């Protein structure tokens, strides 16, 4: 099959009063190399997510065990609770900006992230950022599934006993592996039913998880007779020369925690009823929830210090301290709901679309989700969370640098080069305005390589703490490594703008809008 001939100018997409655009009646791109049902724009009638839906999405994603443990990782690196919460709050205010900028294309055009990337990288070149995002999501899916499986293992062990003493496979009890596999299968079963099922799940999961966290706080505060002495513990770093070398890479790591979604947020906002819904929903949902959740984790851990003589940052380990069967069951269900909520939304939706973009005629949304599940196991997620250094500096730092580089190009192209005007049929049409050189935009690739090298080329690890050389992969770039996300975003944005300065651009009306 071949692509539909681009419509005459009079048949071009016409925005509705809210500024949203859909394909004209009867115009359906048909080239199977670039189109399937999951990649086509969402019709206006199906764009009905409200402010509450987006806020609930973020509440459901932010309330999860790794989010709870972010503060613990920072405290383990020497910060006090105030420094840790400040770092997390600032990171999420910063990452909200690219989240809203890239999210704008979703309600306006109804397109997912890999289709938006075609405008800057080309119809074929979009597979480069899509596969990077997919790979990161697969790894995150594995990490979250492993953590969720561990939570089930601990809590079921308290209920039934003897689980931890089971014979080992690969150095871990076989019962832990069973919990991991069962949790993995449950997640894929939910996402296999599609995005509407996800929306309904997030709507009730968000308030349920909030209630669960507050119950945990009330329980530990009651046992402690108030919150414990952790809030009075001084920082081992102070606010001087020892603090800043830890703060900046930690800030970049915290930004990297959600920088994944700053790329593929159009996968969700494409279902939005309008810009107001996605802007307010995300603003109310992301920075506030993450900050309050960090505070909640600190307060609960403070209580655990007072009750048990040592801080318990892992909410599963803390919940396992109770001997109340109802309490254990409630904690088990809360862990299940919280982890499923974030993992499906943040780490399965994106690679499902990204892999569909790679081979639309062979891979649909559901097949992409299954591939994500398999890859998430193959990467051995239990290795990525062994130490705070490996988790925050190596994994989150490297990921943030690469994803910041892609975000810089997307923002520069959509907002500064095209001023949000896209040729919607052209995003699916070989030989159209986004075909560039055989489907690749060499300017975007050059900007990506430049930003990527600057962002992660100086990656380094302390001796015995990670995979990189102590002096950095490229030693003279080592000073930039602690600012990887910001360096990648700024460098790629500026390089892309410079390279595109002489490129003639086309608006949906077929007129040049630039030199």
Query: What is the structure's pLDDT at 514?
Result: 34
Return the sign of the alpha-carbon dihedral for residues 410, 414, 416, 422.
positive
Burial (Cβ within 10 Å: 0-12, 13-18, ≥19) of residue 235? middle
Check residue 172 and report its DSSP letter: E
Residue 470, phi then psi, degrees to nearest 5: -60, -35
3-state secondary structure of 52: helix
Query: What is the structure's pLDDT at 466?
Result: 64
pLDDT above 80 for 104: yes
pLDDT above 70 for 258: yes
Domain limits, the chain: 42-381
pLDDT above 60 for 418: yes
pLDDT (tens digit per residue) in 270-316: 999 999 999 999 999 888 888 888 888 888 877 777 788 777 777 77
Query: What is the structure's pLDDT at 513?
Result: 37
In this prediction, residues 222-245 reach a mean pLDDT of 74
Distance CA 257, CA 402 (A): 13
Token pair 């062994």 in the structure block, residue: 386
Burial (Cβ within 10 Å: 0-12, 13-18, ≥19) of residue 448? buried
Q: Which CATH number fits domain 42-381: 3.40.50.880, 3.30.70.1380, 2.60.420.10, 1.10.4160.10?
A: 1.10.4160.10
Is residue 46 within 8 Å of residue 271, measured between CB atoms? yes
Question: Checking phi first, is residue 421 left (phi over 0); if not, alpha (psi -120 to 50) or beta?
Answer: beta
- Structure tokens that stand for 462 in this block: 């302390």
Is residue 135 within 8 Å of residue 406, measured between CB atoms? no
Distance CA 7, CA 164 (A): 64
3-state secondary structure of 206: helix
Query: What is the structure's pLDDT at 7?
Result: 43
pLDDT mean across residues, the chain? 81
Question: Given pLDDT bands bounded at 50, 70 and 90, which one contains residue 387?
Answer: low
Question: Given pLDDT bands bounded at 50, 70 and 90, which one contains residue 26?
Answer: confident
Q: Which of 288, 336, 213 is nearest to 55 (CA)?
A: 288
Pick the more confident residue, 292 or 253: 292
pLDDT above 50 for 511: no
Pick the more confident residue, 11 or 260: 260
Question: Given pLDDT bands bounded at 50, 70 and 90, which one contains residue 10?
Answer: very low
pTM for the structure as a whole: 0.81
In this prediction, residues 115-119 reach a mean pLDDT of 95
Which range among 143-152, 179-188, 402-411 has the greatest average pLDDT?
A: 402-411
* Lowest model confidence (mean pLDDT) among 14-23, 192-201, 268-277, 332-341: 192-201
Pick the more confident residue, 242 or 162: 242
């Amino acid at each position: 099959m071949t692509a539909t001939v681009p419509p005459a100018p009079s048949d071009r997409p016409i925005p509705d009063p809210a500024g949203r655009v859909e394909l004209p009646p009867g115009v359906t791109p048909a080239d199977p190399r670039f189109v399937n049902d999951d990649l086509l724009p969402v019709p206006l009638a199906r764009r009905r997510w409200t402010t509450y839906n987006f806020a609930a999405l973020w509440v459901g994603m932010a309330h999860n065990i790794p989010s709870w443990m972010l503060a613990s990782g920072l405290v383990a690196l020497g910060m006090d609770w105030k420094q840790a919460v400040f770092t997390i709050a600032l990171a999420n205010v910063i990452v909200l900006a690219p989240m809203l900028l890239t999210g704008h294309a979703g309600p306006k055009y109804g397109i997912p992230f890999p289709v938006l990337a075609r405008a800057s990288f080309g119809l074929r070149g979009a597979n480069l950022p899509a596969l990077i995002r997919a790979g990161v999501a697969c790894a995150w899916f594995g990490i979250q599934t492993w953590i969720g499986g561990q939570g089930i293992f601990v809590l079921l062990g308290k209920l039934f006993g003897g689980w931890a003493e089971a014979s080992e496979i690969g150095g871990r009890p076989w019962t832990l592996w069973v919990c991991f596999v069962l949790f993995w299968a449950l997640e894929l079963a939910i996402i296999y039913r599609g995005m509407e099922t996800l929306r309904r799940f997030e709507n009730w999961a968000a308030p349920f998880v909030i209630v669960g966290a507050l119950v945990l706080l009330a329980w530990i505060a009651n046992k402690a007779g108030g919150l414990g002495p952790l809030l009075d513990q001084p920082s081992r770093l102070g606010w001087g020369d020892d603090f800043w070398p830890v703060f900046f890479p930690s800030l970049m790591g915290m930004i990297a925690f959600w920088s994944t979604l700053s790329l593929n947020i159009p996968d969700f906002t494409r279902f939005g009823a309008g810009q107001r819904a996605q802007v307010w929903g995300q603003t109310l949902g992301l920075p506030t929830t993450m900050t309050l959740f960090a505070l909640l984790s600190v307060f609960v851990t403070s209580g655990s210090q007072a009750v048990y003589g040592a801080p318990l940052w892992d909410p599963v380990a803390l919940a396992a301290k109770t001997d109340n069967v109802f309490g254990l069951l409630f904690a088990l269900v809360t862990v299940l709901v919280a982890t499923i909520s974030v993992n499906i939304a943040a780490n399965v939706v994106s690679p499902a679309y990204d892999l569909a973009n790679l081979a639309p005629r062979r891979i649909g949304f559901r097949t992409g989700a299954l591939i994500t599940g398999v890859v998430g196991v193959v990467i051995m997620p239990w290795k990525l969370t062994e130490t705070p250094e490996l988790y925050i500096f190596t994994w989150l730092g490297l990921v943030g640098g690469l994803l910041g580089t892609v975000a810089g190009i997307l923002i520069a192209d959509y907002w500064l080069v095209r001023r949000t005007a896209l040729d919607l049929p052209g995003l699916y049409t070989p030989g159209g305005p986004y075909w560039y050189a055989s489907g690749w935009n060499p300017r975007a690739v050059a900007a990506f390589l430049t930003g990527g090298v600057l962002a992660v080329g100086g990656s380094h690890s302390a001796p015995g703490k990670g995979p990189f050389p102590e002096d950095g992969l490229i030693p003279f770039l080592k000073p930039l490594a602690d600012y990887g996300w910001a360096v990648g975003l700024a460098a790629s944005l500026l390089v892309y703008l410079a390279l595109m300065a002489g490129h003639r651009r086309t608006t949906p009306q077929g007129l040049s809008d630039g030199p």
